[in-house]
Amino acid sequence: MPLDFAFTEEQELFRRTIRDLMTKSVAPRSKELMQARALTPEVHKTFAEAGLFGLLVPTEFGGTASDYVTFIIAVEELTKGDISGFAGLPAWYGAACARLLAAYGNAELKEEVLPKVVKEGWVTPLHSTEPSCGTDFTAITTTAKKSGEGEYLINGEKTCVSCVPEVVKFGGGYITSTKTRPELGSKGMSLFYIPSTSKGITTTLFTGMGIDISSVRYENTTVPEHYMIGFEGTGYQMTYESFVHARVPTTMSIVAAAEGAIEKGIEYLKQRKAFGKEIGKHEGLQFELAENYANVLAAKWLTYRAAWLIDQYHDGKASFFDAMTAASTAKLVASELCVNAVSDVLEWYGGLGTTTEYDIQHVFRIARQAVIAEGTKNAQKVVIAMQLLGRGFSAW
């Protein structure tokens, strides 16, 4: 099969549409978003009207059922056009997790939630991390027990999780990993959709180095049986698959942050003078620019390859492990090279680059924080090595 690195005409038009939307409606509000440290109502309405929350939702529920490459195009433009990082994340992460509901939710749950995701911009993030476990997500202790009345009782706590303020403010709920049969370990895991308005939920917000994160505590929170996603005991497989589906847009958020930083850095290299000439004329900075451009471009294409392999997996033309390895490879490379690129650009600005006079310091914090999200660098190395050596050599 011949290689083709071109996007379709429809995808290029879609890219221009999202870029124009961000330029006109979001970029002018970047300071406002910085101050709010969250997605604001005006931008949320703009995104909902543009259908961004429903990119991966089937058309029968009002979504656009986009392929994954098109979805990643949206993530790239949302990130580049939102230097604050607070607007784009709920849109693309919510869309990625809504796909889980669309793929595995029962008919009643999908009919109840997905149209509101599309039309009203409901946010439905997946929460797995707990105070005692992150990468080792099978060690969760949150439980879901049948109450004997067609309901489940949820008890436990999730921490270092995203989009909680947006769920509370704009509607939606939390896709929560639980143990319905703790004695079975990973085989006893189940997923539930828990509306944010359910009783017994307490949330705590933590100020992050880039975006803010939260904890969500459940104390005898009751949900009906049809809020279970998939079947009892299938939570491990769905959670792992969701990690891979979220890993690729998370990687693109790092790549796009670096792309935007380099674009801004080029402007600064042309304007700032030192030793009687623009600093862009100094060979050392030209070398850094060239190296970082090449590194970010390499990470970008690895990310689009991972998105393409997810589409191939959905079409039955590639294995899940192919997509998983590609996603981990892209994230590992981006976590190293793209963060280094943003760090170099920050240094071009000198001391002012570390201050709030310029936004580059915030971009660095956003990119560095995203390295940990959806699996640390070492977690990606374990996944890649396991595929190269065989599952018998798994460190987990």
pLDDT in tens, 55-74: 999 999 999 999 999 999 99
Q: Between 83 and 109, where is the model more confident?
A: 109
Residue 3 lies in a domain: no
Phi/psi at 198 (nearest 5 deg)?
Answer: -65, 150
Q: Between 394 and 39, where is the model more confident?
A: 39
340-387 pLDDT per residue, tens: 999 999 999 999 999 988 999 999 999 999 999 999 999 999 999 999
User: Which among 87, 102, 120 is the end of a domain?
Assistant: 120
Contact between 160 and 86 (Cβ < 8 Å) = no
Looking at residue 395, its pLDDT comes to 66
| Domain match, 288 and 379 both | yes
Q: Does residue 155 surpass a pLDDT of 70?
A: yes
Confidence of residue 31 (pLDDT cuts 50, 70, 90): confident
| Domain match, 206 and 267 both | no
| Domain match, 265 and 183 both | no
Joined tokens for residue 107 = 């008919």
| Domain match, 258 and 368 both | yes
Helices (H), the chain: 9-21, 30-36, 41-49, 68-80, 88-104, 107-120, 164-170, 235-271, 283-314, 320-348, 360-372, 377-389
Phi/psi at 87 (nearest 5 deg)?
Answer: -85, -50
Residue 88 lies in a domain: yes
| Domain match, 226 and 160 both | yes
Contact between 156 and 92 (Cβ < 8 Å) = no
Amino acid letter, residue 32: E
| Domain match, 52 and 116 both | yes
- Whole-model pTM: value is 0.95
Residue 188 lies in a domain: yes
Q: Which CATH number is 53's domain given?
A: 1.10.540.10
Q: d(Cα 376, Cα 196) in Å, to the nearest integer?
A: 28
Cβ–Cβ contacts within 10 Å for residue 183, how many? Answer: 7
Contact between 300 and 259 (Cβ < 8 Å) = yes
Looking at residue 183, its pLDDT comes to 96
Using CA atoms, how far residue 309 sits from 131, 315, 318, 371, in Å, is: 33, 10, 7, 21
| Domain match, 133 and 262 both | no
| Domain match, 254 and 359 both | yes
- Across the chain, mean pLDDT equals 95
Looking at residue 354, its pLDDT comes to 95
Range of the domain at 304: 236-393
| Domain match, 107 and 153 both | no
Contacts of 255 (CB under 8 A, 6+ apart): 76, 296, 299, 300, 303, 334, 338
| Domain match, 374 and 262 both | yes
Confidence of residue 161 (pLDDT cuts 50, 70, 90): very high
| Domain match, 364 and 335 both | yes
Q: How many domains does the chain have?
A: 3
Phi/psi at 156 (nearest 5 deg)?
Answer: 150, -170
User: Which among 207, 231, 255 is the end of a domain?
Assistant: 231
